[in-house]
Structure 1
C-alpha cells in the first residue's frame, strides 16, 4: 500500500512538472504579447470584446478622445486589439448597421484583389496594362502607354497627368512622364479593376466578392458617386479588412492573399515616395509626398503614430490604421475633420496624440 501511494505521488509530481514545463509561457487573454489572435465569425453580430482596464490603458483619457472625435465630425470609431473590440463608438445618428463610404481607403481593396488575381495566375503585375485591356486605354503615344505596367498603377507611378481630374477615359489619361519616373496620386489605379475583370472573365464585383468580401464576412457594395465607384460598408466590415491586413492576408488560418505580396504592398514600393506601397500609405519613413504635389516632405507621414503603422486613407478622413507592433486596428469613418481633403490631414497626427494618451 505504501509503495502504491509513493508511486502515485511520484506520478502526480511528474505530471505537474510536465504541465509546468508546457505552460512556462502560457497564453494569457489579457496579455497582448501572448494572446492568440481572434477572428469574428463570418456571419452574425457576435464579436468578442476586451475591456480597457484589462489592457491597463488609461481610461481617464478616453472621454478626451471621444470628445475630439465628435468635435471633428466623426461618425464611427473602433479599436481592435488582437482582433477583439476595445472601443466601438458611433456619433451623429450613425449606428453599427449604417453604411458609409471608404473613398480612397478602398484603394487597398483593389490592391488586395489584384494580388489575389496574381496568386491565382490570372495576371502578372510586371506585365504592361495593355496586355489585359488592349491598346488605346490612354491618349499617350503607344510606346509610352506600353511602358505602363500593372505595378505602376499599384505604386502611382504611371507617368500620366494627375492634374486632369478623376475621369479615366482615354482622352483624359495624358502622358506626363515615362512610367516609373514620377510619383503622382492618380485615379488611374481603377484600371486595375478592368485588368482583373478581363483576366479572370468575371465582373469586378463578382471576383471581389468571391475572393475577398465573402471569405472574411464583409458586407457592403461598390456604388457610383461623383463619377467614381467607391466602396460603402459598415464600420465593422472595414474593421474586418483591417484585421486581415494586420494578419498579412491570413484569416483564421486561411490564406486570402499571399503574404509575400502583402508584405510588398505594405513596404516602400519605389524610391520616389518612400511612404507609399501598393496603394497603402506607410508611416515611419524618412520622407513622403502628398496628393496633388510633387514636393518631398521630410520626416514621417504621421509623426505621432507608431513607426511600423501602415494605413488606408480616404477623402474626408476615412481611415484604416494597422499597427503590427501593438496588434491594433483603428477605424475612423465620417465627414471631413476640418476642410475637405484627399487623404491625409493634420487630423491624423492630433488623433494619434489622443489615441496614444489612452493606449500608452
Structure 2
C-alpha cells in the first residue's frame, strides 16, 4: 500500500508537465512502412539516428538510464525500421522474457479476431460461454458481466483477493459496468475464446496471431497460480507493437479489423478515461491506477506523446505505440525502481530521455 501512495504522489507531482507534440517535432520520415519477414528470420531493416536527423548526443544518456534502471532490452522502431536496439545485463536478441500484464493486449487482440470471425460477441455475458458459476457472485450479478466488462476492467468483482481466478475467489463487489478495477479476471476471456472456437487458447492464438506476425518461439507459460504469462524475445514484442501501429494490419493483411482496433485503443468506459480494451491510453484528462479507486487528474505519462497507447506490465515491461510519430518503443527488464506495478515514475523520466532524441 505504501508503494501505491508513493506512486500516486509522484503522479500528481508530475501533472502539469506536458510534452511538446507540435508539428515541428514530428519524427516520421516520408517513406513506406516496413514489415520484417514473417518467417521469424533475423532480417530487419534499420534506420540510423543520423538518417532521421535525431540528436546523437541524447543516445548515451538514454542508454545509461536504461542500464541503471535494470533494463534487459530496448527497441525503437520508426516506420517499422529499427532505429535503436540495445541489450543489457547479459540479455540477448534471442533470450525470451516475460510480458507480464503487457500480454493482456494479446488477449484483447485475439478476442477481437474471434469476434470478427463470428465466433463470439463481446456484448454477450461471459456465462453464455463458460456456463453459470464461473464466479461466486449471486447468479443475477454474475449474469450482468459481459465479455466487454472483462476487456474494460469493469466486471464489478473484488480486485483485492490476489491473482487466483477460481470461482471462490471471484467475489461480487459492485454491479458490472459501475466500478473500474484492475483485475486478472480478464484471463477468463482466454477460456471464452477456447469455448467459442472449439480450440485450445494456445492453438487459436498461435494460428491467428503469433504465426501471422512471425513471432516465432513465443509461448504461454503457467506461473503456478492458474494464470499463463506470455514469454518471447524483444523483437517478437516489437512485431506485435508494429501490427498495432498499423491498426491491426500486418504487411497488407488485416489481422484484426480496424473497427475493433480503434475501439480497443480509445476510452472504453466512463470511469477510467485512460483505459481501452486492456490497453492504457496516454493524453487523457484523468486516470486510475491499479489497486486504487482514486481518479488522478492529467495524463498518465506527461512527458510522453498524447496520442500514445500502451501495453504495461509488472516490473516495467512496456510496449509504447505512437501513431503520430509512426513509432513503437519496447522495454523489457526487471523493475526499474523496485516497484512491481505496471505504472511508475520510470515511464515519465524514460520519455523525457526518448523525447530528447528528436526534439
Same fold by TM-score greater than 0.5:
yes
Ranges in structure 2 where 5+ consecutive residues have no aligned partner? 1-26
Aligned equivalent of 1:12: none
Superposed, 1:115-134 pairs within 5 Å as 115-134=112-131
Superposed, 1:311-322 pairs within 5 Å as 311-322=310-321
Ranges in structure 1 where 5+ consecutive residues have no aligned partner? 1-30
Aligned equivalent of 2:23: none
> Which SS does the other structure have where 1:182 is aligned?
coil
Superposed, 1:167-178 pairs within 5 Å as 167-178=164-175
In the TM superposition, residue 33 of structure 1 has moved relative to its aligned partner by 4.4
Worse-matched range after superposition: 333-342 or 175-184: 333-342
User: Quick check: which has more Rg, 1 or 2?
Assistant: 1
Deviations 1:302-356 (A, max 9, x none): 0000000000000000000000000000000000000232210000000000000
Q: What TM-score, normalized by structure 2, do the two folds share?
A: 0.91
Aligned equivalent of 2:231: 232
Aligned equivalent of 1:221: 219
Aligned equivalent of 2:260: 261
Counterpart-to-counterpart distance in 1, 2:274 and 2:137: 28
In the TM superposition, residue 197 of structure 1 has moved relative to its aligned partner by 0.0
- Compare relative contact order (CA 8 Å, sep 6+) and give the higher one, 1 or 2: 2
Q: What TM-score, normalized by structure 1, do the two folds share?
A: 0.91
Counterpart-to-counterpart distance in 2, 1:42 and 1:357: 33
Superposed, 1:187-198 pairs within 5 Å as 187-198=184-195
Deviations 1:60-98 (A, max 9, x none): 010000000000000000000000000000000000000
> Which SS does the other structure have where 1:301 is aligned?
coil
Aligned equivalent of 1:326: 325
> Which SS does the other structure have where 1:359 is aligned?
coil
How well do the aligned residues superpose, as a CA RMSD in angstroms?
0.8
Kept after mapping to 1: 8 A contact 2:266/2:281: yes
Paired residue for 1:155, among 152, 155, 167? 152
Say yes or no: does 1:296 pair with 2:295.
Answer: yes
Counterpart-to-counterpart distance in 2, 1:224 and 1:133: 20
Say yes or no: does 1:308 pair with 2:307.
Answer: yes
Counterpart-to-counterpart distance in 1, 2:29 and 2:330: 22
Counterpart-to-counterpart distance in 2, 1:141 and 1:99: 42
Counterpart-to-counterpart distance in 2, 1:72 and 1:33: 30
Kept after mapping to 1: 8 A contact 2:282/2:299: yes
Aligned equivalent of 1:46: 43
Kept after mapping to 1: 8 A contact 2:46/2:81: yes
> Which SS does the other structure have where 1:166 is aligned?
coil
Counterpart-to-counterpart distance in 2, 1:70 and 1:209: 33
